[in-house]
Amino acid sequence: MDFIVLSLLKTGLVAFVFLTALAYLQWIERKVIAHVQVRVGPNRVGPHGLLQPLTDTIKLLTKEDLIPSHVNKFFYLLAPIIGVSMALISISVIPFGPEIEIPFTGIKTYLGLTDLNIGVLVPLACSGIGVYAVALAGWSSNNKYALLGGLRASAQMISYELPMALSIAAPLLMYNTLDMRKIVEQQGAIKFGFVYSWGIFSYLGLPFVAFILFLICAFAETNRIPFDLPEAENELVAGFHTEYSSMKFASFFMAEYANMTTICCLATVLFLGGWYPPVEFPGVNYIPGLVFVFSGLMMLYHGTVNLVRARDKYTLPAFGIIFCGIGLAHFVPFLMPILVPLFWFLSKVLFLLFLYIWVRATLPRFRYDQLMHFAWGWMFPVSIGVLFATALLVAVWK
Amino acid sequence: MVDLLLFAFFGGLAVICGIVMITQKHPIASALSLVGAMGSLAVLYLLLGAEFIAAAQLIVYAGAIMVLFLFVIMLLNAGAEPKPMRPSWIAVAVGIPAVLVMFAMLARLIASTVPMDSLVRFGGFTGGSAKDVGNAIFRQYLLPFEVISVLVLIAILGAVVLARKEMD
């Protein structure tokens, strides 16, 4: 019974944090792109536009739920359900941290919802089924732009699934298991006395090539720039979700961001050492707290002594105090074993998500034939080469 | 108990999806019911303890092959078939009992030839991990596996040749 209650609690917590994070990811994206393009970004609702995700959600929920008369109703309604459920399922197999003890209760549990011995395959299966959402949405809308978007998306996702699977297979050869928790624990070994053996640091750095291939495929799998041809605005209006409005549109939107987050978690687990820090030295566990406290103090300084903009008078000190509080929580002995691994895991995931946004703000879109040629003529041979080279190295070393 | 409920649910779902696949007029509906049947089969594999096969079923069949099917149907924009003639009442009256009798005979045959204690129990099957499947394919059944691969390759080449002829 304890197991069920604990699992329900963990699921509820992860679902709440994940969904909130998805909403704020969109705020971060708009802000970062705005600053890259020398704009301000959302700044009307709440301080620095921080309540923008909330108002967006309310807007999307309360808009008229329109079902065009010419659609195939059953599949039209089924598509967003498949999309969002498949996108949200795969987070359940990601391990966020090691085994921890919940303070004051003595209950030991793993950070993460479940550990399957086929863990790595679950996100792949989910993204495979998720293709149906896009294809069905495009087809059932009965609209030429939507159909073209759906066809493009399914062709692209099938093409890039192959090099993605191959680039995942290369590190799996080194780890010799499909269990995500065991994969991360193997990366916890320390080499040369101070470096953690992250996936990308082992085997002569060969997995680093696989990591780059995986990232490129991840961009294509989630239909993001520079591979966002399924929703190319200047050719297809909005692509496969042209005919969707209100909550159904929001589901596709949420599915896209959930897929991005999950795939970044997968990259972190497979290549970037999960919840382990990059290097080991005495006191490495104090770094997360120090980072937070330092940034909090910096905000306090700029919000009080060195005030430049009048509107920062309240927000910067407030956030400075919050950051200092989070930082100090990292030093509390019974919170430290929970927060420090989470810090390293989340910072890697957030870095990869930032990379997504950075690329979106920087790169133009591919042409469709370039996209396909890139997948089959370049990615595929290179990933096969990396797989063979890794297999050779593993066979020689083990 | 939970196992049995899940088995009944997903087994039933697989059968229903199979029936819907044959009876549906629209190719996309048929393709999707096939996906539903494959997904339910994957759950049944999972119930038996064959996790890797379940995941492979989802990734390869439901995720890759059926998406290609769907893609082709959508690309050709195949519409619903015209309604066929209504089956004669004799075919219905004779056919459905005949099918039921056939299934009953099959069940009887299986129950009589396979000893009860050799049946697979839920979770009692331990050969479903990636390692066991790999050993079975690449050690025990290496030759049949390679022969099937060559067969599939020949089929692909044949399809390409046939498709090219039509293009000219």
Q: Which residues of A touch B74 (CB under 8 A)?
A: 135, 138-139, 147, 150-151, 154
Task: Parse chain B into domains and list their residue ranges.
Answer: 1-80, 129-168
Angle, in degrees to the nearest 10, between helices B2-23 and B27-48: 160
Q: Which of B48, B67, B69 to mutate to test the interface with A (most CBs of A within 10 A)?
A: B67
Q: Which of B34, B35, B51 to mutate to test the interface with A (most CBs of A within 10 A)?
A: B51
pLDDT at A175: 84
Task: Give contacts of B 93-132 with A, CB under 8 A.
Answer: 129-130
Q: What pTM did the predictor assign?
A: 0.85
The answer to whether the CB atoms of A75 and B70 lie below 8 A apart is no
Choose the most confident range, by mean pLDDT, from A289-298, B82-91, B144-153: B144-153
Q: Where are the extended beta strands (E) located within A41-101? A: 95-101
pLDDT at B152: 92
Helices (H) then strands (E): counts for chain A: 14, 4
Angle, in degrees to the nearest 10, between helices A312-329 and A287-304: 160
The answer to whether the CB atoms of A135 and B52 lie below 8 A apart is no
Q: Which residue of A has its CA nearest to B57?
A: A125
Tell me the nearest-neighbour CA distance from B112 into chain A, angstroms. Answer: 36
Q: Complex ipTM, two decimals?
A: 0.76
Is A124 in a helix, a strand, or coil? helix
Is A254 in a helix, a strand, or coil? helix
Q: B62 and chain A: CB distance < 8 Å anywhere?
A: yes
- The predicted-structure confidence for A133-156, as pLDDT tens digits, reads as follows 888 888 888 888 888 888 888 888
Question: Which pairing describes strands A190-191 and A95-101: parallel, antiparallel, or unpaired?
Answer: unpaired
pLDDT at B155: 93
* Band of pLDDT at residue A283, cut at 50, 70 and 90: confident
Percent with pLDDT over 70 in chain A: 99
CB pairs under 8 A between A and B: 69
- Cα distances (Å, whole numbers) of residue A382 to A134, A226, A375: 28, 20, 10
pLDDT at B114 over 80: no
pLDDT at A118: 84
Query: With respect to CATH, is domain B1-80 assigned 1.20.120.1200?
Result: yes
Residue A100, beta-bridge partner list:
A109
pLDDT at A161: 85
The answer to whether the CB atoms of B58 and A125 lie below 8 A apart is yes
Task: Name the residue with higher pLDDT: A226 or B165.
Answer: A226
